[in-house]
Chains A and B, each alone.
Chain A
Amino acid sequence: KQEVTQIPAALSVPEGENLVLNCSFTDSAIYNLQWFRQDPGKGLTSLLLIQSSQREQTSGRLNASLDKSSGRSTLYIAASQPGDSATYLCAVTSGSARQLTFGSGTQLTVLP
C-alpha cells in the first residue's frame, strides 16, 4: 500500500526566504506526482503535476522535483511572500492508476 509522508508538518519562515518542502513515498512505481495548495476553509488548488518520466516542473516561483528511485519529491519556493502561507500537500498516482494517495501536508507560514 502506497504511503506518502510530508515532513515537517509545519514550517515558519521570514518573508523573502527561499524554502523547500519535502514529500516522500514508499512505492516508487508511480505514474505522476502532484503538489497542491490549500488555504483555510477552501478546496485544494493544483500547483504542479510531474509525470513519472520527468525530473522537474516549474511554475513562476515554484519548482518541483521528482526522484522516483529514492521515493522523494521537493517543492522549492523562491523569495517567499506572506501570500504563500497555506498548507501544501503532495499526492501520487500509483497502483490502479486511477487514485491518488495524499500526504498529510505541510502548513507554511511566511512572516512579514
Chain B
Amino acid sequence: DAGITQSPRHKVTETGTPVTLRCHQTENHRYMYWYRQDPGHGLRLIHYSYGVKDTDKGEVSDGYSVSRSKTEDFLLTLESATSSQTSVYFCAISESIGGVAGELFFGEGSRLTVL
C-alpha cells in the first residue's frame, strides 16, 4: 500500500471554527490532491499541488485553502467551517510522468462533521 496518512481520521466541529486536515506521504510523489466525497456528487476535486509551494484550485475550492511547504505534507484548511462542508475528505498522490499524473493512490479518508 502507498504510504499515505491522513489526520485526523474523524473530527466533529462547530460552525465557524477553523479546521485543518493533514495529508502525509512517504512516497516522494510530486502531485498531491484533496477530494471530497458526498452522496449524489461523487468525488470532487478541491485543490491540488504539483510541487512544493505550487498549488491550484479544483472544481469546489470555495471556502478551502491549502499549503504545501514540504514534498511530504499537504494541508487542507477550512478557515470557517460550515455545515455544507460536512463530508469525507480524501487525500491522493501520484507521480508526475512527463508532466502527466500517473497512477493515483488514496488515503483512508477523514470524516468531518460540522454542527
Q: Note whether A and B form a binding pair.
A: yes
- Give A contacts to B, CB under 8 Å: 31-32, 34, 36, 41-46, 49, 89, 91, 93, 97-100, 102-105
Please state if B90 and A43 are interface contacts (CB–CB under 8 Å): yes
* Inter-chain contact A100/B104, CB cutoff 8 Å: yes
Question: 5 tightest A-B contacts by CB?
Answer: A43-B106, A104-B42, A44-B106, A97-B100, A102-B43
Interface size band for B: 20 to 34
Nearest CB of A to B89, in Å: 11
Q: Which of B31, B50, B103, B108 contacts A43 (CB 8 A)?
A: B108
Task: Chain A residues near B90: list those with CB within 8 A.
Answer: 43-44
Q: Among B101, B107, B109, which residue has its beta carbon within 8 angstroms of that of A98?
A: B101
- Asked if B43 and A89 sit within 8 Å, CB to CB, the answer is yes
Classify the secondary structure of A's interface with B.
Answer: strand
Give residues in B with beta carbon < 8 Å to A.
31, 33, 42-43, 45, 48, 50, 56, 58, 90, 92, 96, 99-109
Other-chain residue from B31, B56, B104 in contact with A46 (beta carbon distance below 8 A): B104
> Quick check: A34 and B104 within 8 Å, CB to CB?
yes
User: Contact: A98 with B31, CB < 8 Å?
Assistant: yes
Q: For B101, give its contact among A41, A45, A97 (CB under 8 Å).
A: A97
In the complex, the answer to whether A93 meets B42 with C-beta atoms within 8 Å is no
Chief secondary structure at chain B's binding surface: strand
Instruction: Check if B103 sits within 8 Å of A49, measured CB to CB.
Output: yes
Least Cβ–Cβ distance between A96 and chain B, in angstroms: 8
Distance in angstroms between the alpha carbons of A41 and B108 in the assembled complex: 8
Q: Specify which chain B residues have a CB less than 8 angstroms from the CB of A100 in the assembled complex.
A: 45, 101, 104
- Nearest CB of chain B from residue A63's CB, rounded to whole Å: 17
Tell me whether B42 and A43 are in contact (CB under 8 A).
Answer: no
**Cα distance A41–B31 in the bound complex, in angstroms:** 24
Q: Which residues of A contact B48 (CB under 8 A)?
A: 98-99
